[in-house]
Amino acid sequence: MRTAVRTHVGKVRQINEDKAWGGRLAGGLTAVIVADGMGGHRAGEVASALAVDSLLQSLAAWDDTVSLEEKTDRIQEMIRKANKLIFETASLNEEFYNMGTTVDMALLNGSSLLIGHIGDSRVYRVREGQLELLTDDHTLVNELAKSGQLSPEEAANHPRRNVITRALGTDREVDVDVLALDWAAGDRLLLCSDGLSGLVEPAMLLAVLEEPDSTLDQQAETLINLALAAGGDDNVTVALAADQGEADATGGDTA
């Protein structure tokens, strides 16, 4: 399993509040994480870094031999632990008041794909020429769209489409979406902040990920450049995973 991670501050923001990691852990587990921070001056940057660091520390003790139910519980525990860390850090430091972050974490091992998700960063899977959105945006506009109060066109252009309804670290307790899916040979995984998904159409994402002669690193760079060409009005982060031979060493890419 190979991974590629890229992030860019964009053309408008002064600080990159995104944080990402991808790589293989001890025992053969591959992990990919994307966090899109938010808050006051530099607070979002702190929140996203705390989230990724906390999850990596928890993953060091991952046991892949337990049942699927136990794995699901463990993912929820890890993300709630990160939530507690961010919330308490913000509570003790006025400069970090109300900071938070989205988080997407994908764990891959053999034919198994596990995802933990909070916020509006997204996880996509490419399978047999199709791009599948696996996660559900935790946003006000998405809630209105699901209830039929907004059409897809209205939702796409709504002025409050970036208002999220669930984040890591903003409340003492948080609900975590956990998905257990299958992973097949030839699948590709894309985790990204809304700096990509909010600017680049799904068809363009698929075209890049289906390019047969490009490496994961090249695809990640291309996706970043597409977001910048479309305006780059936010930080943009991309993390990819695919079966392309064994990784060179245990470890990971970080950004």
Read off the CATH number of the domain in which 10 is found. 3.60.40.10
pLDDT digits (tens, 9 = 90+) for 184-222: 999 999 999 999 999 999 999 999 999 989 999 999 999
pLDDT of residue 63: 93
Residue-by-residue DSSP string for 112-175: EEEEEEESS-EEEEEETTEEEE-S---BHHHHHHHTTSS-HHHHHH-TTTT-BS--BSSSSS--
The verdict on residue 71 lying in a domain is yes
Residue 187 lies in a domain: yes
- The answer, yes or no, to whether residue 4 has pLDDT greater than 70, is yes
Report the percentage of the chain scoring pLDDT > 70.
Answer: 87
Kindly state whether residue 120 falls inside one of the protein's structural domains: yes
Tell me which residue has tokens 């919330």.
87
Residues 6+ apart with CB under 8 A from 233: 10, 11, 12, 195, 199
For residue 130, the enclosing domain spans: 3-244
Contact partners, residue 163, CB within 8 Å, separation at least 6 = 139, 140, 141
117-136 pLDDT, tens digit per residue, is 999 999 999 999 999 999 99
Query: Model confidence over 148-194: pLDDT tens digits?
Result: 666 566 556 655 667 789 999 999 999 999 999 999 999 999 999 99
Q: What SS3 state is found at 93?
A: coil
Condensed to tens digits (0 to 9), the pLDDT of residues 22-62 reads 999 988 899 999 999 998 778 999 999 999 999 999 999 99
Residue 160 lies in a domain: yes
Summary mean pLDDT of the chain: 90
Would the CA dihedral through 12, 46, 173, 117 be positive or negative? Answer: positive
Residue 254 within a domain: no
- Classify 59 in phi/psi space as left (phi over 0), alpha (psi -120 to 50) or beta: alpha
pLDDT of 72 strictly over 80 = yes
- Is 249 contained in some domain? no
How many other C-beta atoms are found inside a 10 Å radius of the C-beta of residue 103? 32
Q: What DSSP line would sit under 8-22, residue for residue?
A: E--SS-SS--EEEEE
Residue 41 domain-assigned (yes or no): yes
| Count of the separate structural domains present in the chain | 1
